[in-house]
Every structure is written in C-alpha cells, then in structure tokens.
Amino acid sequence: MPPNAGVPASQEKPPGRSLLRHPDFLKLWTAETVSQFGSQITGLALPLVAATILQVSPFEFGLLGTIEFLPFIFLSLPAGVWVDRLPRRPILIIGDIGRAIALVSIPIAYAFGGLTIYQLYVVGFVTGCLTVFFDVAYQSYLPSIVDREQLVDGNSKLEISRSASQILGPGSAGILIGLVRAPFAILLDALSFLFSATFVFLIRRAEPPIVPHDHATGPRPSMRSEIAGGLRYVTGHQWLRSIAATTGTSNFFGNISGAILILFLVRDRGLTAEFIGFAFSIGSLGVLLAALTTGRLTGRFGVGRMLVATSIGFSLSGLFIAAAPDDLVFGALALSTFLAGYSGVAWNINQVSLRQAITPQRMQGKMNATMRFIVWGTMPIGSIIGGLLGQTIGLHATIWVGAIGGLIAFIPVAVSPVRDIVTMPEPVGDDVRG
C-alpha cells in the first residue's frame, strides 16, 4: 500500500504553524500576487498594441500568440533538467528581472516611434522562454519553503492570488490601459516583475543543497538522457501517469470546444460580448471559491476522493453549453464556467501538491517540466482539430464533440490507486535515476 494511503483522518499528523505566520512563504506569496496582477496588464495590452497601434494583419496578429506559446512546447523538458542542476531561487530572480527588461523595451520603443510587430515577437518569445524556466523552478521551489503537510495550504493560497487576478485583473487592466495607453501600461507589469524579484531575493530559508555529480561513477548524464529520465519517471509512476492522462485528455477535448466557443456563442447563439464577459465573470467565482475551500475539503474527504470528484466535475462541465437551448445559453455558460473553474482549480491544488510531495528534490524540475510538456502538448492539437471540425461539421457539432469526448477524462484517475490516497504521502526516497 502506498505510504499514508490508508491513514484515517483522526490519525493524521497535526498541522504545523499557519503559513500566515511563515515569513518566507509570505514573501513568495506576495511576489507571486503582484506578478499575477501585473501579467494581466500585459496579457491584454500586448495584443491591443498589435491590433490598434501597429494595425497588423490577422496573420501577424495570430502569429504573436503562437510565438508566445512556442517556448512552452520546446523548452519545458530542457528547463526541467537545468532546474534540477541549479539552485532554484536564482532562476526565479533572473526570470523576473529578464522579463522586466524585455517588457520595458516596449514603452521605450513606442516613445521614440520605433515600435514594430517584430519587437513584440521578440519580447513575446523572450518572456515566454523566461516564464518556462520560472514556472518549472517555482513549482519545484515551494517544497523547499514549506513543510510537506503544508503544501495543499500553500498551493491554495497561491491559487487565491491567481484566481483573484483572473477575476479582477482584466477589468482593472482595461481601465488602466484606457488611461495611459497600452504601451505605457506594460511598464507597470515590468515593475511588478522587479517587485517580485526583490521579495524572492529576501527569502532566507535555504534550499536543499544540489548534490554534485560524482565523476567516479562515470561522466555526467547528457541533457538528452536526463530528459529521458524525467519522461521515464512520470510515465513509470502510476500516480503521476494517471494524473497526466486525466489532465491531458481534459485539455485536449476542452480545446476542441474552446477553439470555437466564442464564435459559437456569437454566431449561433447571438450573445453579445458584454453578455459573454458577464457570464465568464460569474463563472470565475468558482475559481475563487475553490481556492478558499479546497484545503478544508481535502482534509475532510482525503486527497484521492477530491481528485476523483473534481475530475468528474470538469469532465461534465462541457455538457451544459452543448445541450442548452437558445434562451438558456447564458445560464449554461455561467454554470459551465463555474463548474470547470471550481473543479479545475481544486484539481490543480491537489494534484500539484501531490506531485511535489511524492517527488524527490533532485527530480522536482524534471517531473514538473515533463508533466507540463505532456498536459500542455495536447492543447494546440485540440485547438487545431476544433478549428477544422468547426469548419467541416459546424460549430454546434464541434461543441458536442468536445463535451462528449471530455466525459472520459476522469477515468484514468478514477481507476488508479490515486483514489485511495488520504493524506499527502512522502517521497519513496531519493534513489530515482534521472
């Protein structure tokens, strides 16, 4: 039986001190909160610069989003190797400072009349590359800051910041962009990265030392062999394998529907942009509710049950929009967004915490990078298929394909030993070969 898999709640280890009195976690949380809100500005401002100031073509506009996403496909696996070879805090600081420098070049170029779409491409690609390293290091760094039994609480608090930025950030960013114009609004995001780097720099809790390679055992493993080691670790671990399968399947079918969802709501159902935005705002409350309640619910029902229940939730979420008649589509969109938001965030809090808890420190980077590569790799494939299906079989039929296909997403976790986990288990040891 896996460690702690059958421990009743009454015998759980008493929780440690509150993270609200944990100075190093508070610094990390503050850094991430400011950065999340700042990123909402750039997320809206960068495409607005391309569309309204530079007046680019539709192809050039679409290429901007593609270039921003490319680093997440091509760099995730190598980033995992480097994150395991190097201390993680300096990676976080360099990632923040590098993104600040890249972003501040936009208002400077605009002020001197030299801003072009090619600069936006470069900035988007550079910030994407640095974000890949930052995100992999960030998920691998949290277990160095908090104790194992505090991981769910820590990830829950970090999700509060992310969900709050998703709910409040776009509206605030829109107002700010209207006041100071998009290029100069990006300057605030650059400052937020510098603020984040300062707080990460102030963290004092030491990381576990990086174990140097023992040359007596032979030459250092190559980048390729370490990437292969990360893939073997994830695909060979029954818990991680089932989590990756559920997340990847959900992302695949969700993006089949998501690729044409707005087009379907506008053309087939006649919703205005205001109604769509309002429905998404209502639904986004599920994200915040999940961030606030997941820790308590996990403590009461157990990690495994929460993972199964939330996977069923997001597997069902697409059916409401597909089945709703015209007069109920607004409510169906809000309900679908709420269920997907709540289930998705609660799922992520627990599955990320579980991954962090069971993985030895020397494998954290490669594990996180491999998981991201697998579950994000299905997203562009789903989007391409969704666009093709929307053009050939129709928008509503494509929504049904995504909704019905998504029903199988929960199965890998539901039939795996993950469902039996009660409390966060401990790593089996640090003897994993990467």
* DSSP per position, 76-145: HHHHHHHHHHS-HHHHHHHHHHHHHHHHHHHHHHHHTT---HHHHHHHHHHHHHHHHHHHHHHHHHHHHH
Residues 222-281 pLDDT 10s: 778 888 888 899 988 999 999 999 999 999 999 888 877 877 887 788 877 667 767 777
**pTM reported for the whole predicted model:** 0.69
Indicate whether 400 pLDDT > 90.
Answer: yes
What pLDDT does 7 receive?
A: 38
The 10s digit of each residue's pLDDT in 10-32 is: 334 444 567 888 899 999 889 88
Predicted confidence band at 8 (pLDDT cuts at 50, 70, 90)?
A: very low
Q: What percent of the chain has pLDDT over 70?
A: 87
Give the pLDDT score at 85: 81
Q: Which of 59-63, 235-239, 335-339 has the lowest mean pLDDT?
A: 59-63
CA 383 and chain centroid, separation: 17
Residue 171 pLDDT class (50, 70, 90 cuts): low
Given a cut of 60, whether residue 386 has pLDDT beyond it is yes
Q: What is the average pLDDT value for the chain, to the nearest integer?
A: 82
CATH 1.20.1250.20 fits 18-206, yes or no: yes
Do residues 55 and 48 lie in contact, with contact meaning Cβ atoms separated by under 8 Å?
A: no
CB-CB contact of 348 with 247 (8 Å): no
User: Domain 238-420, what architecture?
Assistant: Up-down Bundle (1.20)
Give the per-residue pLDDT at 428. 55
Residues 126, 42: Cα–Cα separation, whole Å? 14
Domain with CATH 1.20.1250.20 in the chain: 18-206, 238-420
pLDDT of residue 13: 40
* Helix/strand number for the chain, H first, E second: 17, 0
Query: pLDDT confidence of 301, banded at 50, 70, 90?
Result: very high
